Chains A and B, each alone.
Chain A
Amino acid sequence: MKYGKRVMAAVLAAVLLLTMCIGLSACGSSDPENTINVFNWGEYIDPELLDQFEEETGIRVNYTTVSTCEEMYAKIRSGGVSYDIVVPSDYMVSRMAEEGMLEEIEWDNVPNAQYIDEDFRNPEYDPQGKYSAPYQWGTVAIIYNKDMVDEEDLGGWDILWNEKYDGNILMFDNSRDAIGVALKYLGYSYNTTDEDQIREAAEMLKKQKPLVQAYVMDQIFDKMENGEAAIATYYVGDYYLMIDELGEDSEVDLGFYIPEEGSNLYVDALCIPKGAQNKEGAEAFIDFLLRPEVMAQNTEWICYSTAESAARELLPEEMRDNDDMYPTGDALDQFETYINLPQNIRTLYDGLWVQILSS
């Protein structure tokens, strides 16, 4: 009898625990009315701003990160989750818009859009300015460790194929950027739709593979800051982030340059994907980020470039007047932006990319 009672008690306790769990989980998923799910790249927002936004609006931000545009696309495309804010790069904005994956932004809810500079309105990737608000922009460069690389090897993309740096090269871990590097090295356009040129670029990358230590995205920070590798391809703003992190008396001395064959200029934009649970909250978030003071604080943290002159004015001098961050005139000509590629070329890219990594 005694045993039976004890067992009953145990069962009861289990049931109780269960209901409690279910209750808790219901609370955990809190109502979508007052939450927004933000899906951003790593190291791409000043975390203080999230708190500030929550305080100002009472909307809770659920922040998750992703490392490449293509991964973000896959996550949203597979359809299992709903996000309210995503931050695709230019070409990906067009692609997602083309595939009906983006919600039109109600600009009346985003008064701060008035601060966006003329050059960034109705851009090529979003000609009618329906789906996106520019978040940050920047350029692609080669970042190198001054102690590990000889001065004379600098200059072009060819350093990535230099056997001297066998095992010390870090490459992009996404198809568009990586194949793009090879295309530029070969003197072609980033946006070529000539399949032979693309295949040639893929062959170059296969040839390069034995020299590459790792294909990475944001792991670059740790690796370059710790002197794990000599050369990496990444974004100019991130070079400044690394310098900042290292401090002045660091043993590791980093430098960067824009390869002479030309490089990429990109814009990352705030978008609302289809199926967003809280579109108004998302618009409030976009509006918040576009506010010049917020934009300035954020840009200072991220070290990329802002598309709002009003925000740029508020930046510290060394960032505001930095020609590498805000190239003008002739310097701008060496850059080419990515344009969304036709479906058949995208399939080719994906196939070749898997082949490169798996070879």
Chain B
Amino acid sequence: MRGSKAFSYPYILWLLLFTVVPLFIVIYFAFTNDAGEFTFDNFSYMSLYAVVFWRSFRLAIISTVICLILGYPLAYIMSRLKKKHQTIAMILIMLPMWMNFLLRTYAWLTILENNGLLNNFLSWLHLPEIAIINTPAAVGLGMVYNYLPFMILPIYTSLTKTDQSLIEAAKDMGCSERQVFTKVIFPLSIPGVLSGIIMVFVPAVSTFVISKILGGGANMLVGDLIEMQFLGGAYNANMGAAISLVMMVIIMIFIWLTGKIDKNGDGEGSVLL
């Protein structure tokens, strides 16, 4: 297939124009001020927002861990089902994912409000009501709910890819079921776990929609901070670009580190489906 390399040229051009160039524009904005002069001020000013970064990362890490704890067993149970049931379970997991993200988040608003469904239910049971809306807990819950499928699917994929003969061999050699899991199944599913972690952590750390709707504006995350400087209440595109750049670098380092753990990774990323 000589010459067919040319098929990729339109896309290469596209990537350059709509992915690479924009990133350079962000870098340009980050290092200039409103008048277009070169400056480092945007970065030195950012120490004021350390608390926002800390809050975002803490919430994102907690949500990722919860997703992993909830998602791994489910992926494992799913991979042990009959083929037909697996398909149904897959559909059930993907269905909420394909509905609009905002609708899902809004659903939690109606549940968690002070006079929402949860509190109505609690008072019907004569239990004390809880004030959870507009707290970090509500934001974290929103993250777990929205991103849980992103954790389940890659783990499930890597579990189903596991060679059954390896498991049988281990059993034949006298491994207990627990040993089979810790020595064979789990190590082989690590690539799935890692890509699940990335796929939950990255959107969680950068979200602004969830914190706006469930956090009431008082639990500001890095995403809110960026949004605020571009389209929100404190217009400063240069500052916003600088914050974006810092966040992007941190995330790149994070992805690179997770890639290091997965020595067998082929560097080609893992696909959702």
> What is A's interface to B at a CB cutoff of 8 Å?
68, 70-71, 73-75, 77-78, 167, 173-175, 209, 212-216, 226-229, 350-351, 353-355, 357-359
| B231 and A74 within 8 A (CB) | yes
CB <8 Å contact, B235 and A70 = yes
What are the residues of chain A within 8 A of B14 when measuring CB–CB? Answer: none
Selected contact of B236 from candidates A215, A228, A350, CB within 8 Å: A350
Q: Mark B68-90, 1 if CB is under 8 A from A, else 0.
A: 00000000000000000000000
A357 and B220 within 8 A (CB): yes
CA distance A214 to B52 in the complex (A): 17
Most buried by A among B113, B133, B232: B232
- Which residues on B sit within 8 Å (CB–CB) of A350? 233-236
Is residue B94 within 8 Å, beta carbon to beta carbon, of the partner chain? no
CB <8 Å contact, B216 and A215: yes
26 interchain pairs (CB within 8 A)? Answer: A70-B233, A74-B230, A77-B235, A78-B230, A78-B237, A213-B133, A213-B134, A213-B218, A214-B217, A214-B218, A215-B217, A216-B216, A226-B113, A227-B114, A228-B133, A350-B235, A351-B45, A351-B234, A353-B233, A353-B234, A354-B48, A354-B225, A354-B228, A354-B234, A358-B49, A359-B51
Of B216, B233, B234, the most chain A CB neighbours within 10 A belong to B233
Give the complex CA separation of A212 and B133 in angstroms: 12
Q: When the two chains form their complex, are residues A78 and B220 in contact, meaning their CB atoms are under 8 A apart?
A: no
User: Do residues B216 and A214 form an inter-chain contact, with CB atoms below 8 A?
Assistant: yes
Partner of B52, one of A70, A227, A358: A358
User: How distant is the Cα of A227 from the Cα of B48 in the complex, in angstroms?
Assistant: 36
Tell whether B250 is near chain A: CB-to-CB under 8 Å. no
State which residues 138-154 of B face A: CB under 8 Å: none
Contact yes or no, B217 A216, CB < 8 A: yes
B131 at interface by CB-CB < 8 Å: yes
Contact of A215 among B52, B218, B230 (CB under 8 A): B218
B115 CB contacts on chain A under 8 angstroms: 226-228
Would you call B231 and A78 a contact (CB within 8 A)?
yes
User: How distant is the Cα of A353 from the Cα of B228 in the complex, in angstroms?
Assistant: 11
Kindly list chain A residues whose C-beta atoms are within 8 Å of the C-beta of B231. Answer: 71, 74-75, 78
Most buried by B among A75, A215, A354: A354
Name A213's contact: one of B48, B216, B233, B236 (CB within 8 Å): B216
With beta carbons under 8 angstroms apart, the residue of A71, A212, A358 that contacts B233 is: A71
